[in-house]
Amino acid sequence: MVGVTAGECQNPRTAVPRAIKQVFWRIVIFYLGMILFIGLLIPYNSSRLLSATSKTAASPLTISLQEAGIHVAAHIINGLIVLSVVSAGISSIYVTSRTICYLGKTGRAPKFLGITNKYGVPWPAILFCNLFASICFINQAPGGAGAAYTYLINLSGVATFIVWAVITLTHIQFRRGLIAQGVSADELPFRAIWYPYGAYFGLGANIFLIFFQGYTSFFRPFDIVSFAVSYILIPVFLLLFFGYKFLRKTQWIEASQMDIWSNRRVFVKEDIQTNNQTIWSHIKNLII
């Protein structure tokens, strides 16, 4: 999300580090903080967690609000879930449409998907993404459609592991290119902390999850459907990767020949607005 939006923001040199810091603190405060307080308020063996008639009523957050005297807690949680789903959907459409638009402009997808209006909005890509997003409605269909939707969710999870494995590998290769060409990492507008340990850990963790997330399909009796859903994307990914290299006749690039300069924005100190900042502004920027 941050990487895609960086290409459209006015000053990514300051916006990207700030966005990454905000993601970290939001996870710590809103997710881990909420889990901490819920754990302090509700026993793990509470009967209300197990005997509720609906998933919303069994939510620890719902029980916490009801204990505080807010009796419409279940309805509040339902409303928050709807808002969260809408927010996640908008973010997904934004990222996916920009990616599809780029593929269309570079000839890796039909050219019409790279069209934008005068405001820069890739409306064909947005319509294309919404068309595929409509598949989610099969979850409400009778019969086996719900199971098909579950399989799609599992496939998307495996695809996420593959994508993040590629992202971490790309980061490692990018750093190798910098070293081979004598470019210091200090010149980067943002540097990932704990490199290279974090990158290699992320790569190893995602590869582990790719190959072991479907281990339950090997339990007796062997489940061929679960096995196919869990591992079909591995050969599909390899087919797409090597098929693209074969059709486009692309070559393996050495680290010393890696293009790390094309379309790179030139850093101008005047682009960063630091005037008239108070001490509190500097502290806020340091944290978030």
- Does residue 34 form part of some domain? no
Low-confidence residues in the chain, pLDDT < 70: 6-7, 50-58, 139-146, 265-288
- Does residue 59 form part of some domain? no
Compute φ and ψ for 9, nearest 5 degrees: -80, 155
Amino acid at 250: T
Tokens representing 123 are 């409306």
Residue 279 has what pLDDT? Answer: 66
- Does residue 65 form part of some domain? no
Residue 253 has what pLDDT? Answer: 87
Residue 213 has what pLDDT? Answer: 86
- Does residue 98 form part of some domain? no
- Does residue 220 form part of some domain? yes
Residue 208 has what pLDDT? Answer: 95
Residue written as token pair 């997710």: 31
Residue 54 has what pLDDT? Answer: 56
Tokens representing 36 are 């901490």
- Does residue 118 form part of some domain? no
Residue 185 sits in which domain range?
Answer: 145-257
Residue 46 has what pLDDT? Answer: 72
- Does residue 221 form part of some domain? yes
- Does residue 132 form part of some domain? no
Question: For residues 146-164, b (16+ Cβ closer than 10 Å) or e, as one string?
Answer: eeebeeeebbeebeebbeb
Residue 127 has what pLDDT? Answer: 93
Total number of domains constituting the chain:
1
Residue 143 has what pLDDT? Answer: 62
Residue written as token pair 């090997």: 218
Residue 52 has what pLDDT? Answer: 53
Residue 215 has what pLDDT? Answer: 85
Report the candidate in 238, 259, 280 with the shortest Cα–Cα distance to residue 177: 259
Cα(184)–Cα(178) distance, integer angstroms: 7
Cα(77)–Cα(52) distance, integer angstroms: 15
Q: Whole-model pTM?
A: 0.74
